[in-house]
Structure 1
């Protein structure tokens, strides 16, 4: 949220008044979902929405995107970004992407808290535990495993990135599979910025294949926040006769996914 969204909303209101055009408010998550459905052709998937600010497992029912499970504390993207700062990874192009690349070099799966509570997950503990490894005397911040030192009892940043990814993504796969079993779906749609992660897509794909299903995902052009997803969701709402009065066109940070009337779906 913050200044960028407030500024864009101000421009949208101005254009609406200036050209006498209707204003249509859009829920951010619904924008991601409808963009994903449009691009991939997924019909009735279980949706895994993973980003810097959100972690939710969602499925459609009776003109509403129902939240089956979510994070109880921090979002998965926030978890990855914060650990990237701990080990001084660059923000270019993004902390999460750089963790993904470092994880490919990791060789050691370290024990970390695996916290699923029903359909929900908790990620703050795993972040704290991963950070704690950087204070371990075995931690080598500048060391890369090579053929010579693979047998040494050391912990590298790459090992930590690998362990963090594997554990967090396994938790997400588990709760997504439970939602698939509950609604009888064989489709998974991954949306949100973390959805670009190829390892997450691979792990989800293995699970879906074992269930006779498939995973739908988009590349970074559509996974990350973009104007097209907002326009798509806005168009769907407008076609159903929804508009937003100027006095109600506020930026609502806690506008939850399941508060939206999805009238364009049967």
Structure 2
């Protein structure tokens, strides 16, 4: 009897926390992150493919870059986290959307690593990775999300276990627009075109009127890009007194005003007061400032992150994949392919109530 009583009083040993390794490679960055079940980020390393001045990153060259760095980054992440592969619970990778060849390179690295160490695999939607990482590091509970990156521009809100898209670009993404503009005005790709536009814009003093295209909840950037390219031609011919810095300033002000407008409209529609800005363009301090001003007027809060988590990274894939793994299990191995088209609203968000 006494032995039974002592056994009942003995504390039950805690289950070890699950740990995920995530590999992101949808565009010009290859990243590896390791995250624990409690949200602790143990490692988050990456390498960026920087193309020569005046050119963008091509799929073949970008894929080769990822293939060269994937193994080294996995090793580096494990060393930083002080873990061995046997300590991991699951391997997560970006299933899509993104560029085909870079996506395949990251997916092959994830499948190979998982097979070597007999670990389950989870394919992650890139956009969901951004959202869940933003929610984790900022503490935002149920914000309207502005997702702005090189390949995506969406205004998103959660409802009934789905991230629903309320507005998006109808042509090119905002990051793509800024990258192409940077090439026209001969700004460097190092560390990124968007960053260099932001620095140049701080020295601009004159506003050049450019097309402002908002169609309901959607935005369009191709007309704006064509217009500013014509202004660059005039500037190069010396037929105008606008500077390159003025054009950078005008591009940012016009584009970000469009994004703030559609975000505010989504807030009003959804009855939400908070906004979370994610994606690589979300690092821009001017965009964050404009968003903060709008949200403050509505009595809410703007949640933003820095380049560690705004820019594509492996930790966001590890965290989103771990959430999915804990609620719905692993992706069947025969379904661990990748796709260039994988919409945010196609994912069943099983981990949110």
The unaligned stretches of length 5 or more in structure 1 are 144-152
- 1:103 is aligned to 201
Deviation at 1:244, TM superposition (A): 1.1
TM-score, structure 2 as length reference: 0.70
Q: Does 1:56 align with 2:154?
A: yes
Secondary structure, counterpart of 1:158 in structure 2: helix
Match for residue 132 of structure 1? 230
Residue matched to 1:149:
none
Structure 2 Cα separation of the partners of residues 242 and 64 of structure 1: 18
Q: List runs of 5+ in structure 2 lacking aligned partners.
A: 1-98
Residue 220 of structure 1 is matched in structure 2 by 307
The aligned counterpart of 2:254 is 167
In the TM superposition, what are the counterparts of 1:200-239 in structure 2 within 5 Å?
200-239=287-326
Deviations 1:194-219 (A, max 9, x none): 00000000000110011011100000
Stretches of 4+ aligned residues off by more than 3 angstroms: none
Deviation, structure 1 residue 11: 2.0
Structure 2 counterpart of 1:36: 134
Q: Determine if the alignment matches structure 1 residue 257 to structure 2 residue 344.
A: yes
State the shift of 1:19 in Å: 2.5
Aligned residues: 255
Cα deviations by residue, 1:79-115 (Å, 9 ceiling, x for unpaired): 0010000010011111000000111111111111111
The corresponding residue for 1:195 is 282
In the other structure, the counterpart of 1:73 is 171
Does the 8 A contact of 1:32 with 1:192 survive in 2? yes
DSSP 3-state at the match of 1:24:
strand
Q: 2:210 aligns with which of 101, 112, 120?
A: 112
Offset of residue 72 of structure 1: 0.3
Q: What's the secondary structure of 2:303's corresponding residue? A: strand
Question: 3-state DSSP class of the match of 2:328?
Answer: coil
- Max radius of gyration: which structure? 2
Alignment RMSD (CA, Å)? 1.5
Show the counterpart of 1:150: none
Distance in 1, matches of 2:127 and 2:298, equals 26
Structure-1 residue corresponding to 2:181: 83
Relative CO higher for 1 or 2, CA cutoff 8 Å, sep ≥ 6? 1
Q: Is the 8 A contact 1:204 1:215 kept in 2?
A: yes
- TM-score w.r.t. the length of structure 1 is 0.93
Structure 1 residues 146-203: Cα deviation after superposition (integer angstroms, max 9, x where no partner):
xxxxxxx611111111111100000000000001001111110000000000000000
User: Higher strand proportion, which one?
Assistant: 2
1:140 shift after superposition:
5.6
Q: Secondary structure at the match of 2:165?
A: strand
